[in-house]
Amino acid sequence: MRYPAPMDIRSGGDSVQPACYNNSVASSGTPDNDYWNGRPERLAGLDGKVAIATIMGHPPLAALLRRWCLAQATRGETPCRADLEPYDLPRILLPYMFIYAQEGDRFRCRLYGSKLRDFFGEDSTGRYLDEMVKPDAREKRNSLFRKPLESGRPLFYRGFLVAPGVEWRHFNRLLLPVATQPGASPTQIMGALRIIPPPPGLRLDGNDPDGMLQHCLLQEDDCRLLLD
């Protein structure tokens, strides 16, 4: 089946360097079947177990979530920045990491990994999330980022993105709520991204990629799978 050419959209908040995918994808050039569910332009269903299995398949995402879950289990509350300082985290994480701070109803980028800069050709540090997505997606994306802060739980989401001049990509993104001080309410989002290249010759259909996002809040039972 022939698919239309990819759309040229900006979604800098979802950017990621193309080399960030697991060896099974790299060796075959084809994403795992879990992502495509028989029809390559559509994602399989998403729940906590699927999200954890996906995260465990990618060392940077798994390392970050495991560190967050350990800190949460130790403190008995939302981890704070002191628990997750970037210089204390595995080096494999840093190029793919980001940190956003809530400022009123907006989110300002405080850390933007080198691989993210490489992919989009710019450094988004200091920019607001709503400046990095299409105008009609701003409220939806801000709402998605508020969910981890309001619930105190990690959020995993996935969908499609296209950078100017780059073939479309399926991405996974992990958002973790973080407080600035122990005992405080979380006001920052720390996270990382994964990219899965499409099968050779595949093109995204005419749907709006931003309307194809799937998300899932991870519960304590989901996190235990990483710690057992």
User: Distance between CA 70 and CA 49 in Å, rounded?
Assistant: 19
Low-confidence winner among 20-34, 43-57, 204-218 (lowest mean pLDDT): 20-34
Q: Residue 66: pLDDT above 50?
A: yes
Given this model, what pLDDT does residue 201 score?
Answer: 59
pLDDT in tens, 27-49: 233 333 334 333 334 455 688 98
Segment 133-138 shows an average pLDDT of: 85
Confidence of residue 12 (pLDDT cuts 50, 70, 90): very low
Given this model, what pLDDT does residue 200 score?
Answer: 62
